[in-house]
């Protein structure tokens, strides 16, 4: 029989052997961890290490406009504005530089830091980077009310295509309060297009939950990436936000018609060369087809949209001095 002393000695030897193996096991685990997407110290925040070309600096908005390479499993190669938390970063870079940077993404926000110029600038071929735009960036503009008034809207009766593949025109929503915004499905930055869609998701949920809410309201999300955002893609995207097609439509159409509608709504973007640097506009149009409100932001404005839609749905055909005409139509056209 094995004595108690022998058993204790054997157990001690096995423990020492495990201790000698632990450093190698730790290195093995760390080695595999390096393959995974790195996580920051903030719970739920993912870091991406990215390469791109700095296209512009927006100090007032704490943003860098970057034409970046594909970010695997997250974002296609495109040009986007990225938020910067450290203001010093904005003064240490110059447009046209090829850079590397870290993109941090949580459920509700994103930002970039560790912006470094590449050691060997490449003034020749783009090396796989997105083609440069004809203009580096667009400045934010004030809403041009004249774009909606006085002249008949040429897109009033144009048939766009919704996520169900059905033809839809703006005139189809006569008598309804409309909230309209622009987006594209490939945008994963949480405070940009996903924030706009979450706003509409919350608006739909809140209005449908109100027992005394009017029924004459509709949400319109218009893509400015029609080459990618087919009706099938838009439908899948809408379903990810639990959209109700009775109150929320996703529209696509020819690029020139999308661009014209965006211009009338004072949404700035360049449809050429893969540029998706754009500003934000959510428009509220009342039931009399008058522009009631413009929200020039992508923040959490769901409750404000709800209140504006409730007011817009009650609008009559009486034109007031404070209302700006969105769709002008002669009486014989009504």
Higher pLDDT, 35 or 43: 43
The two most distant CA atoms of the chain are separated, in Å, by: 109
DSSP 8-state assignment for residue 23: H
For range 130-135, the mean pLDDT: 34
Structure tokens at 2: 């094995």
Q: 12 falls in which pLDDT band (50, 70, 90)? A: low
Question: What is the average pLDDT across 258-272?
Answer: 80
Q: Which two tokens stand for residue 57?
A: 């600096």
**For residues 47-61, average pLDDT:** 87
φ, ψ of residue 167 in degrees (nearest 5): -70, 135
| pLDDT band at 273; cut points 50, 70, 90 | low
- Average pLDDT of the residues in 47-66: 87
- The 10s digit of each residue's pLDDT in 206-224 is 999 998 889 999 999 999 8
pLDDT of 71 strictly over 50:
yes
Walk me through the domains of the chain, giving residue ranges and CATH numbers: 46-117 (2.40.50.320), 145-333 (3.40.30.10)
Residue 220 pairs in a beta bridge with 180, 249
The per-residue pLDDT for 303 is 92
Whether pLDDT at 274 is above 90: no
pLDDT above 90: percentage of residues in the chain? 33
C-alpha distance across the termini of the chain, in Å: 104
More confident residue, 306 or 268: 306
| Alpha carbons 136 and 22: distance in angstroms, whole number | 53
pLDDT of residue 313: 93
224-253 pLDDT tens trace: 899 999 999 999 999 999 999 999 999 999
User: Where do runs of H (alpha helix) occur along 244-317?
Assistant: 255-264, 302-313
Q: Identify the three-state secondary structure at position 91.
A: helix
Residue 7 structure tokens: 């058993």
Please tell me the distance from the alpha carbon of residue 260 to that of residue 264, in angstroms, as a whole number.
6
Q: Is the pLDDT of residue 38 over 60?
A: no
* Confidence check: pLDDT of 174 > 60: yes
């Amino acid at each position: 029989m094995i004595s108690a002393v022998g058993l204790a000695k054997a157990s001690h030897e096995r423990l020492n052997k495990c201790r000698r193996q632990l450093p190698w096991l730790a290195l093995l685990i760390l080695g595999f961890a390096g393959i995974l997407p790195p996580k920051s110290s903030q719970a739920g925040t993912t870091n991406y290490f990215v390469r791109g070309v700095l296209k512009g600096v927006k100090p007032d908005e704490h943003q860098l406009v970057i034409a970046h390479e594909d970010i695997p499993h997250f974002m296609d190669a495109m040009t986007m504005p990225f938020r910067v938390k450290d203001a010093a970063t904005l003064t240490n870079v110059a447009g046209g530089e090829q850079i590397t940077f870290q993109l941090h993404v949580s459920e509700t926000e994103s930002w970039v830091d560790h912006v470094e110029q590449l050691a060997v600038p490449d003034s020749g071929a783009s090396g796989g980077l997105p083609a440069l735009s004809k203009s580096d960036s667009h400045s934010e503009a004030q809403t041009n009310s004249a774009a909606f008034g006085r002249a008949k809207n040429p897109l009033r009766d144009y048939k766009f295509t919704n996520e169900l593949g059905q033809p839809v025109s703006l005139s189809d929503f006569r008598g309804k309060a409309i909230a309209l915004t622009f987006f594209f499905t490939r945008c994963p930055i949480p405070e940009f297009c996903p924030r706009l869609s979450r706003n509409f998701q919350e608006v739909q949920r809140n209005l449908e939950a109100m027992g005394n809410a009017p029924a004459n309201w509709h949400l319109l999300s218009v893509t400015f990436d029609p080459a990618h955002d087919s009706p099938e893609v838009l439908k899948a995207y809408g379903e990810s936000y639990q959209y109700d097609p009775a109150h929320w439509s996703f529209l696509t159409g020819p690029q020139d018609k999308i661009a014209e509608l965006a211009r009338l709504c004072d949404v700035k973007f360049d449809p050429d060369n893969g540029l998706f640097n754009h500003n934000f506009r959510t428009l509220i149009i009342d039931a009399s087809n008058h522009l009631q409100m413009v929200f020039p932001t992508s923040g959490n404005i769901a409750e404000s949209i709800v209140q504006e839609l409730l007011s817009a749905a009650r609008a009559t055909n009486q034109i007031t001095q404070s209302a700006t005409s969105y769709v002008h139509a002669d009486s014989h056209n009504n």
